[in-house]
A = this chain, B = another copy of it.
Amino acid sequence: MQKSLIKVALLGAGTIGGGVYKLLNANSKIIEQRIGSQIVVSKVLERNARRCQELGMANNLIANSIDEIIDDPEIDIVIELMGGIDPAREFVIKALEKKKSVVTANKDMVALHGKELFAAAIKNKVDLLFEASVGGGIPIIRPLKQCLAANHIQEIMGIINGTTNYMLEKMSQEGLDFDLVLKEAQSKGYAEANPSSDVEGFDAARKIAILASIAFNTRVTVNDVYVEGISRITAEDIAYARELHYVVKLLGIAKEAPEGIEVRVHPVFIPEQHPLASVGDVFNAIFVKGDAVGETMFYGRGAGEMPTASAVAADVMDAARNLNNNVRGLVGCTCFEDKPIKPIGLTISKYYIRMQVADRPGVLASIAYEFGRYNVSLASVLQKNTLGDSAELVLVTHRVKEQNLRDSLDKIKLLDAIVHEVSNVIRVEGEDVKA
Measuring CB to CB, which residues of chain A are less than 8 angstroms from any residue of chain B?
19, 23-24, 26-27, 30-31, 33-35, 131, 137-139, 142-143, 146-152, 217, 275, 278, 290-301, 304, 306-307, 309-311, 313-314, 316-318, 321-322, 325-327, 330-331, 334, 336-337
- Which residues of the other chain, B, contact A26 by a CB distance below 8 angstroms? 291
Indicate the member of A23, A143, A304, A309 with the most B CB atoms within 10 Å: A143
**How far, in Å, is A177 (CB) from chain B's closest CB?**
25
- Can you list 16 A-B pairs with a CB-CB distance of less than 8 A? A30-B152, A30-B217, A139-B143, A139-B147, A139-B148, A142-B146, A142-B147, A147-B311, A148-B310, A150-B310, A290-B310, A294-B300, A294-B301, A294-B307, A326-B327, A330-B330
What B residues does A296 contact at CB under 8 A? Answer: 137-139, 298-301
Whether the Cβ atoms of B275 and A292 lie closer than 8 Å is no
The complex places the Cα of A338 from the Cα of B149 at a distance, in Å, of 34
A55 to chain B, nearest CB (A): 16
Would A137 and B307 count as touching, CB distance under 8 A? no
Contacts of A278 in B (CB 8 A): 275, 278
Pair A306/B294 contact, Cβ less than 8 Å: yes
User: 6 additional contacts, CB 8 Å, given A27-B152, A294-B306?
Assistant: A27-B151, A34-B217, A139-B298, A142-B146, A298-B298, A298-B299
Question: Bound complex: CA of A318 vs CA of B316, how far in Å?
Answer: 20
Closest to A280 in B: B273
Assuming the A-B contacts A151-B310, A293-B301, are A34 and B334 also in contact, with contact meaning beta carbons closer than 8 angstroms in the complex? yes
Tell me, rounded to whole Å, the shortest Cβ–Cβ distance linking A16 to chain B.
12
Query: In the complex the two chains form, is A292's CB within 8 Å of B23's CB?
Result: yes
Residues of B close to A149: CB separation below 8 A: 31, 34-35, 313-314, 317
With A and B bound together, what is the CA distance between A318 and B321 in angstroms? 15
Closest chain B CB from A295 CB (angstroms): 6
Copies of this chain, tallied across the complex: 2
Q: Which of B30, B143, B301 contacts A142 (CB 8 A)?
A: B143
Known: A139-B143, A318-B146. A275 touches B299 (CB 8 A): yes
Residues of B close to A327: CB separation below 8 A: 325-327, 330
Q: How far is the CB of A122 from chain B (nearest CB, A)?
A: 13
* CB of A404 to closest CB in B, whole Å: 33
In the complex, the chain B residue whose C-beta lies closest to that of A275 is B299
In this complex, the member of A150, A298, A325, A330 whose beta carbon has the largest number of chain B beta carbons within 10 angstroms is A150
CB closest chain-B residue, reference A289: B300
Contact B314–A31 (Cβ < 8 Å): no
The 4 closest A-B pairs by CB, nearest first: A139-B147, A150-B313, A296-B300, A137-B293
A331 → chain B, closest Cβ, in Å? Answer: 7
Q: Chain B residues with Cβ under 8 A from A148's Cβ? A: 139, 310, 314
Q: Cβ of A147: which chain B residues have Cβ within 8 Å of it?
A: 131, 139, 142-143, 311, 314
Nearest CB in chain B: distance from A280 CB, A: 8
Query: Among the interface residues A143, A147, A309, A327, which one has the most CB atoms of the partner chain B within 10 A?
Result: A147
> Contacts A143-B139, A331-B321: A297 and B300 contacting too (C-beta < 8 A)?
yes
A190 to chain B, nearest CB (A): 16
Nearest CB of chain B from residue A325's CB, rounded to whole Å: 5
Separation of A318 and B31 alpha carbons in the complex (Å): 23
The docked-state distance in angstroms from the alpha carbon of A300 to that of B309 is 26
Closest to A24 in B: B150
Instruction: Give every chain B residue within 8 A of A334 (Cβ-Cβ).
Output: 33-34
A316 / chain B contacts, CB cutoff of 8 Å: 150
Residues in B whose Cβ lies below 8 Å from that of A317: 146, 149-150
